[in-house]
Chains A and B, each alone.
Chain A
Amino acid sequence: MTRRLAPSVNAGSMADIAFLLLIFFLVSTKMETDHGITRKLPPPADDDPAETIIKEKNLFKVELNQLNELLVEGTVMEISALKDATIAFLDNGGESDGLACDYCKGEGDVTSSDHPSKAIISLINSRETNYATYVAVQNELVAAYIELRNREAKRLYGISFIEMKKNLKGARNLNDKEVLRERIKKIQSLFPEKLSEAEPRNQY
């Protein structure tokens, strides 16, 4: 019985073809994924905004001037010190009567914020402020919130807030997801992010 072998296909140029494709993909794609500081803008301003009265002591004024200097409550501060100052303000829990904040670990200073849910950070920047400085300040403010939320999440559920968020993304089970989502909401409500940004100023 004679066996006929099919002639083998020359695969020598296969590598060249694959290289071509490879180089095409190297050139036309990029590696990095997007990341950054996520924020929510306030909805467009109404014509007649409702007057709300905010106590001076519940307001934490952070100002960036045209020379990229940081002023916190009217005094110059280094950006590296902003996080601790923000934490001290948010976690103060100055209210002493019925509505007192029972999870705050701050000093309870009567001249600082009453309760984390009332504490508002007001961020004002000049039109001439550098974007990098602004991002650094936003970063520190977010860091302050995250640190406080981590603390509370650890106390209540034994796991940090960041871990919880990561787990939520990875969770497959619907029940687990629901529980996690509830917990994240609970932690967020303990330290709600209240950041007000005024229109940029030209001068002061």
Chain B
Amino acid sequence: MSKFKNKKNTQLPEISTASLPDIVFMLLFFFMVATVIRNNTLMIENKLPVADQIEKLDNKNLIMNVYAGKPSSRYKNIGSEARIQLNDKFADIRDIKAFVLAERASKTDALLPFLITSLKIDKNTKMGLVGDIKNELRKVHALKINYATKIGEANDNF
């Protein structure tokens, strides 16, 4: 009677998902290699300006991040004046010295001359604050700085 088998009941063979884990693992490894762990949660607006004469900062260990900008919408209660952020909290201009010294203490001596301060400053900040930050950095001899920017034509800033 097999000649008259009911055709409606034949099902498609199941698609094998055995290789799915391999595909996902491949993606996983790609992301593990190509990305770095986020370390700071920004509490300020941080739209970087654009520039085209830029240098890449390769070694993450050597970078000290100083953020500045207006408090983001979640922190409106603090006001709209541009603020500095160091390590997850709002900071005062006087805290920069302590911050740099603490960062230095956490690095080995061999790395100290290569430390770079990356100034991640919102593009709508006034230069007064930036000048104050630079002055503080000069006082602790953190002279290598990097104005963090995005890649683009300088005229796109306006």
A, B bound = yes
Identify the A interface with B (CB < 8 A): 11-12, 14-15, 17-19, 21-22, 25-26, 28-31, 33-44, 64, 79-80, 125-136, 138-140, 142-143, 146, 169, 199-200
| Interchain CB contact under 8 A, A36 and B31 | no
Residue picked from A15, A35, A43, A142, most chain B C-beta under 10 Å: A35
For residue B92, CB closer than 8 A to chain A, the reply is no
| Interchain CB contact under 8 A, B55 and A22 | no
| Interchain CB contact under 8 A, A136 and B51 | yes
Instruction: For A37, give its contact among B60, B131, B149 (CB under 8 Å).
Output: B149
For residue B38, CB closer than 8 A to chain A, the reply is yes
- Could you say which residues of chain A place their CB within 8 Å of the CB of B127? 64, 125-131, 134, 200
A129→B157 CA distance, assembly (Å)? 13
A25→B124 CA distance, assembly (Å)? 32
- Could you say which residues of chain A place their CB within 8 Å of the CB of B63? 34
| Interchain CB contact under 8 A, B49 and A38 | no
Instruction: For A143, give its contact among B49, B52, B126, B128 (CB under 8 Å).
Output: B52
The 3 closest A-B pairs by CB, nearest first: A127-B128, A29-B35, A132-B123
| Interchain CB contact under 8 A, B24 and A18 | yes
- Could you say which residues of chain B place their CB within 8 Å of the CB of A126? 127
Given contacts A41-B143, A140-B154, could you give 14 more A-B pairs where the C-beta distance is less than 8 Å?
Answer: A29-B31, A29-B35, A33-B56, A36-B119, A37-B146, A38-B145, A40-B144, A126-B127, A130-B125, A131-B123, A139-B52, A146-B53, A199-B135, A200-B128
- Could you say which residues of chain B place their CB within 8 Å of the CB of A131? 49, 121-127, 130
Instruction: For A35, give its contact among B17, B57, B121, B138 (CB under 8 Å).
Output: B57
A12→B18 CA distance, assembly (Å)? 7
- Could you say which residues of chain B place their CB within 8 Å of the CB of A140? 154
For residue B86, CB closer than 8 A to chain A, the reply is no
A138→B119 CA distance, assembly (Å)? 14
A148→B109 CA distance, assembly (Å)? 36
Q: What is the chain B residue whose CB lies nearest that of A126?
A: B127
Tell me how many residues of B have a C-beta within 8 Å of chain A: 59
A136→B153 CA distance, assembly (Å)? 9
For residue B4, CB closer than 8 A to chain A, the reply is no
- Could you say which residues of chain A place their CB within 8 Å of the CB of B141? 43-44
Q: List, sorted by A's number, 15 A–B pairs whose CB atoms are closer than 8 Å.
A: A22-B27, A22-B28, A31-B35, A33-B56, A35-B55, A35-B57, A36-B48, A36-B118, A38-B146, A44-B139, A131-B49, A131-B126, A132-B123, A135-B147, A146-B53
- Could you say which residues of chain B place their CB within 8 Å of the CB of A44? 138-139, 141
For residue B78, CB closer than 8 A to chain A, the reply is no
